Amino acid sequence: MARKPKAEGAASRLWKASPLTFVTLIAAAIVSFFPFYWMVVIASRTNDAIGSVPPPLTPGGNLFDNIGRVLDNENAAFVTGLTNSLIISTVVTVAVVFFSSLAGFAFAKLRFRGQNAMLLIILATMMVPVQLGLIPLYQMMVKFGWQNQLQAVIVPSLVSAWGVFMMRQYVSQTVPDELIEASRVDGASTWRIYWSIVMPALRPAAAVLGLFIFMQTWNDFLWPLTVLQDPANPTVQISLRSLNQAYYTDYSQVFAGTALATVPLAIVFILFGRQIISGIMEGAVKA
Amino acid sequence: MSVTTRRRFAAVALASVAVLAVTTACGDDGDEGSSGNEQIKLTVDIFGEQGFGYDELIKKYEADHPNIKIEQRGKGMGLGDYNTRLTQWMASGAGAGDIVALEEGTIVQFKAQKQNFVNLGDYGAASLESNFLPWKWNDGKAGDQILGLGTDVGSMAICYRKDLFEKAGLPTDRAAVAQQWPTWDAFIETGKKFQAKSGKVKFVDAATNTYNSILMQTAGNGTGYTYYDKSDKFVLSSNPDVKTAWDLTVKAIEAKLSAGLQTFSDPWATGFKQDQFAIVTCPAWMTGVIKGNAGDAAAAKWDIAKAPGNGGNWGGSFLSVPKQSKHPKEAAELAKFLTTPEAQLEAFKALGNLPSSPKALEDPTLLASKNDYFSNAPTGEIFGAGAKDFKPVYLGPKNQAVRDAVENALRSIEQGQRTPAQAWEDALKAGEAASK
Amino acid sequence: MTPNTADRTRRGRPAHSHAQPPPPRKARGTFGTRLDMKTSPYLYVAPFFVIFLIFQLYPLVYTFWVSLHNQPLGGEGEFVGADNFTALMKDEQFWNSVYNTLGIFVVSTVPQLLIGLYLANALNRKLRGRGFFRMTMAVPIITSTAAVAIIFGQIYNRDFGIANWVLGWFGVENIDWRATKWASWIAISTMVDWRWTGYNTLIYLASMQSIPKDLYESAALDGASARRQFWQITVPMLRPTIIFTVIISTIGGLQLFAEPLMFSSGSGNYTGGTLRQYQTVTMYLFENMFTRFNLGYAATVAWALFLLIVIVAFINYLLTRRIGSAK
């Protein structure tokens, strides 16, 4: 592509962050990190730390001891919980991202009968509070014989109205109609257009969606609690909840478990996050 | 849960076929009982940190009944989560175990749907009445139906901080402390003495705890019911016992005796470590809560004294058999076995759950038991006496919802948001709404 | 990115959300192409609708059916028609929860989206440690809700909390954060914002990255300041995404549940404070279901909430549609 030297100078000046912005970002980073850090502090201390005034601000030496107690806690079945949650969250995330981008593309760039009505239905679904669906949904699972099975948690979550809507907005903003038309003229099939034009353009948004769906599925509690009745076959959130005593909370153990349950999330974030962090920007700023 | 339904569904959900193939491998088909066969599996749903202390009893029962396998679910689960699950199982007609544990607050709610539970009287439970404290037996009944058999009781005593009492110039010996408060009025007077010298430390943790203890006792000696009379008529505004308990509690609040913390909240838990209060009204199970929250640092500082008035109760559970069970007969037999005086004593030995059987409460091992965290207080004796002195109180179907409304009103006085008169109006109004 | 990105972006400004898709070309192609054009869209939305119909729509229809009954939990319902709905219209506790929900929604969402936009714009620049700062935005998302609740519970502790400790420097007396409407709304809003601002930042950032840089280059040549570029290029170009976040925040905000519920840890917490200072509509729904065991009425609350969200989302949509196009 041809470059205009003059423009480059003016643009790059504007693209630099001011010192004020920098300070704001540092403040935002501290605010974001503090509760996370504090979780590690409590996880590495004894249960007495939580009520101390002033609160302890440095990690103690009990982290591995507390993690050991989490793993040894028979009621919690923590390792099974982690494994189950990994399976559930992975399958759900892949499915939601795929189905959402496919449907989002169809709604944004294809034309078909009933399109607007369908989109409206999708929008409306998001607006209905899900909690009340629990009982009919549970009865359905009983009919299918899916109680205690992971698919009872997976299948209802395979699609997300929210994901379709997000992808639809993003595709309509990012992929120009002309590009699609041009491909059509060149004889590309709809699938090819989706696969080689839309998908690549969607990567940053797909990363955000995937990240978010993974977190959401990972943190889901009420539905798994209802349908996975066997305490030996929990999700990680149910395991975490079982670390609580009946009437009082052993915070050091709960936070050690929480920290442990956050490790997979951190890994997933780093994987997905690369798309967001190093995504288009690298090329764009240089251009 | 037939195979055909599942297959038909899988055919419809084209997109998820691959997923199903992956996931059907994980997990098994739960408790589809093969009724009629000789091999029977019974599921017992319980809750709480350690469950109900039934491990040994179940082993014994399985040994005596080779055709029965028993599975316990719910160890480590808190009461709130357990009740949410149970509510959904009962509402959808599937999922509950063959035996479910119902806490005293829960059984009251489920009495309104007694048709969903087996009448244990049909399986010979009627003759067991003498195995239980009279009020406990009554609480397990919904009309003529025997809905639940009692397991443990909470009883009621006062847990107090010896060191803080000493600083305030009050006696610290548990007998002498109990003598300070023969009545709740005297209790409040003692509180005022305490408050005069204690500075920032408050006498009690929360006015609501005091209120509930007073109410249950007053109602036991008085009308025998609280927010609903025995025909389930809503009587919040007309029951004198409620007003008596309310007025006494307001007196305590106005004397600034309460730290105004919400029980079982995080600030409440912090309050134990920060010496914010000297007293917690404690049923037997509360001793573990105090120990957990206050930590080892406070070990020798706590003690237990008899509560004002005569006896009381907070907590304790029942075992019931839902109609959903495919083996109601076998389940009822097991429930009977798990609630015998001998079994209750076993559970006490395992976990310290206070029996609801008068015979078990007389047992020498129980009477001799002491709690070293609470300065070696004779817990078996103190709590046993509290449970035996307690007189039955009838609780209506939406007792919990109404109680929340009244407690909220009391706390709004503690927060300084409402005058006692305004709060009483609030309580009547919100209680009325909750009772519907 | 793929090499064709730069190419693609040069072709012109992306379409806006309300722009119609291109008219299908006259079918000049083979039978296969025509079939592709006709059936592909349906195939692409089919997985969504199949699962949606079975697992999401059916429970909702069922809920509506339940709302027409006087249905106790676990018992037989009695058909009462619209009685529940008329009772709801006169229900003070319901309207109180609507008021709280809208109040907390406004207090939390407006700063959340504005800060998100500001942070995304900052992160879209040349900056030392940019990767690190972008990472930090997601930290609140991966922290579990339970941990957040406990931590903020401590921060807003009446007697020992950090919030009151800091306010104490300015001579403010200890605030009982759970006692008054305003204090509790602010406390809950900070909790919500802490958790969701970073998420909106990332969504905005992902969209900002797709804005063609030539637009900025030519604006820079014309001498437009960074601020002007932000309001005249970035914001209008982000319009579909902003509409998305506003609608999502509306839906999430009006269904607010976990944060206010956990804010009052302890017993009886569905009421959201002693005087229902911060009881949201969803909490009221749960109160009816799990404390009062009135399934029919709970279903009615759910449907009323649905209508409320539709109305608010529509108003917000109309407002946000004016972004950019008015300028």
Instruction: Tell which phi-psi region holds residue C272, choosing left (phi > 0), alpha (psi between -120 and 50) or beta.
Output: left
- Across residues C101-116, what is the average pLDDT? 95
Name the residue in chain A with its Cα closest to that of C283: A131
For chain B, the domains span 34-153+316-365, 157-314+385-435
Q: For A126-130, B195-199, B256-260, C113-117, which range has the lowest pLDDT when averaged over its residues?
A: A126-130
User: Does residue A57 carry a pLDDT above 90?
Assistant: no
C97 in helix, strand or coil? Answer: helix
| Whether residue A193 sits in one domain with residue A106 | yes
C33 in contact with A, Cβ within 8 Å: yes
Interface touch B30/A229, C-beta < 8 Å: yes
pLDDT of residue A278: 52
The alpha carbon of residue A278 is apart from the nearest alpha carbon of chain C, in Å, by: 7
Per-residue pLDDT in tens (0 to 9) along chain B, 436 residues: 333 333 333 333 332 322 333 333 333 333 444 444 579 999 999 988 778 989 999 999 999 999 999 999 888 777 877 888 888 788 878 889 999 999 988 898 888 889 999 999 999 999 999 999 999 999 999 989 999 999 999 899 999 999 999 999 999 999 999 999 999 999 999 999 999 999 889 999 999 999 999 999 999 889 999 999 988 899 999 999 999 999 999 999 999 999 999 888 888 888 998 899 999 999 988 888 898 888 888 988 999 999 999 888 888 999 999 999 999 999 999 999 999 999 999 999 888 889 999 999 999 999 999 999 999 999 999 999 999 888 888 888 888 889 989 999 999 999 999 999 999 999 999 999 888 7
The alpha carbon of residue B46 is apart from the nearest alpha carbon of chain A, in Å, by: 11
A54 in contact with B, Cβ within 8 Å: no
CATH fold, domain B34-153+316-365, is D-Maltodextrin-Binding Protein; domain 2 (3.40.190)
Interface touch A149/B269, C-beta < 8 Å: no
Mutation choice for A interface testing from B2, B4, B12, B23 by most A CBs within 10 A: B23
Q: Which residues of A touch C261 (CB under 8 A)?
A: none
Taking all residues of chain A, what is their mean pLDDT, rounded to a whole number?
82
The alpha carbon of residue A228 is apart from the nearest alpha carbon of chain B, in Å, by: 10
| Whether residue A164 sits in one domain with residue A134 | yes
Identity at C183, one-letter amino acid code:
A
The radius of gyration of chain B's CA atoms, rounded to the nearest angstrom, is 24
Note the residue count of chain A. 287
| Whether residue A129 sits in one domain with residue A22 | no
Q: Which residues of B touch C177 (CB under 8 A)?
A: none
Cβ within 8 Å of residue C13, ≥6 positions away: C212, C215, C237
A19 in any annotated domain: yes
The alpha carbon of residue C84 is apart from the nearest alpha carbon of chain A, in Å, by: 16
Pairwise CA distance, residues A257 & A241, whole Å = 10
- Across residues C261-269, what is the average pLDDT? 71
B199 in contact with C, Cβ within 8 Å: no
pLDDT of residue B10: 30
Interface touch B78/A247, C-beta < 8 Å: yes
CATH fold, domain C91-321, is MetI-like fold (1.10.3720)
B100 in helix, strand or coil? Answer: strand
Chain C: list its partners (3+ Cβ pairs within 8 Å).
Answer: A, B
Tens digit of pLDDT for each residue in A211-253?
889 988 998 877 888 788 777 888 988 888 777 655 667 788 8
A138 in any annotated domain: yes
| Whether residue A229 sits in one domain with residue A175 | yes
Q: What is the CATH number of the domain that holds A137?
A: 1.10.3720.10
| Whether residue A194 sits in one domain with residue A124 | yes
Q: Which residues of C touch A176 (CB under 8 A)?
A: 8-9, 11-12, 14-15
Contact criterion met (CB below 8 Å) for B262 and B206 = yes
Asked if the peptide bond before residue A54 counts as cis, ω within 30 degrees of 0, the response is: yes
pLDDT of residue C266: 62
Name the residue in chain A with its Cα closest to that of B315: A247
Whether B157-314+385-435 and B34-153+316-365 are alike in CATH topology: the answer is: yes
How far separated are the first and last CA of chain A, in Å rounded?
9
User: Does residue C169 carry a pLDDT above 50?
Assistant: yes
In DSSP terms, B302 is beta-bridged to B161
**What is the DSSP track for A108-169?**
HH---TTHHHHHHHHHHHHHS-GGGGHHHHHHHHHHHT-TTSHHHHHGGGS--HHHHHHHHH
CATH fold, domain B157-314+385-435, is D-Maltodextrin-Binding Protein; domain 2 (3.40.190)
Residues of C with CB under 8 A from a CB of B: 46-47, 50-51, 54, 72-75, 93, 150, 153-154, 157-160, 176, 178-180, 264-268, 271, 273-275, 287, 290-295
| Whether residue A84 sits in one domain with residue A131 | yes
Tens digit of pLDDT for each residue in A94-112?
999 999 999 999 999 998 8
Closest CB from B115, B417, B436 relative to C275:
B417
Which of B45, B87, B70 has its CA nearest to residue A231? B45
Q: Which residues of C touch B405 (CB under 8 A)?
A: 271
| Whether residue A61 sits in one domain with residue A117 | no
Q: Which residues of A touch C239 (CB under 8 A)?
A: 173
Give me the interface pTM, i.e. the ipTM: 0.77
- Across residues A27-38, what is the average pLDDT? 87
Q: Which residues of C touch A261 (CB under 8 A)?
A: 144
Residue span of the structural domain in which A104 resides? 80-234
A265 in any annotated domain: no
The band of A135, judged by pLDDT with boundaries at 50, 70 and 90, is: confident
How far separated are the first and last CA of chain B, in Å rounded?
37
The alpha carbon of residue A204 is apart from the nearest alpha carbon of chain C, in Å, by: 5
Interface touch A150/B23, C-beta < 8 Å: yes
User: Does residue A284 carry a pLDDT above 60?
Assistant: no
Interface touch C74/B90, C-beta < 8 Å: yes
In angstroms, what CA-CA distances link C54 with A140, A159, B17, B436? 9, 12, 15, 34
Closest CB from A87, A244, A245 relative to B26:
A87
B293 in contact with C, Cβ within 8 Å: no
pLDDT above 90 covers a percentage of chain A that reads 23
The alpha carbon of residue C272 is apart from the nearest alpha carbon of chain B, in Å, by: 10
| Whether residue A113 sits in one domain with residue A67 | no
Question: Would you state the structure tokens that stand for residue A259, as one six-digit string?
Answer: 């920290």
A128 in any annotated domain: yes
In angstroms, what CA-CA distances link B136 with B150, C15, C142, C254? 6, 72, 47, 44
Q: How many CB pairs under 8 A join A and B?
A: 143
- The 8-class DSSP code of residue C278 comes to T
Closest CB from B30, B273, B274 relative to A148:
B30
Name the residue in chain B with its Cα closest to that of C54: B13
Interface touch B417/C180, C-beta < 8 Å: yes
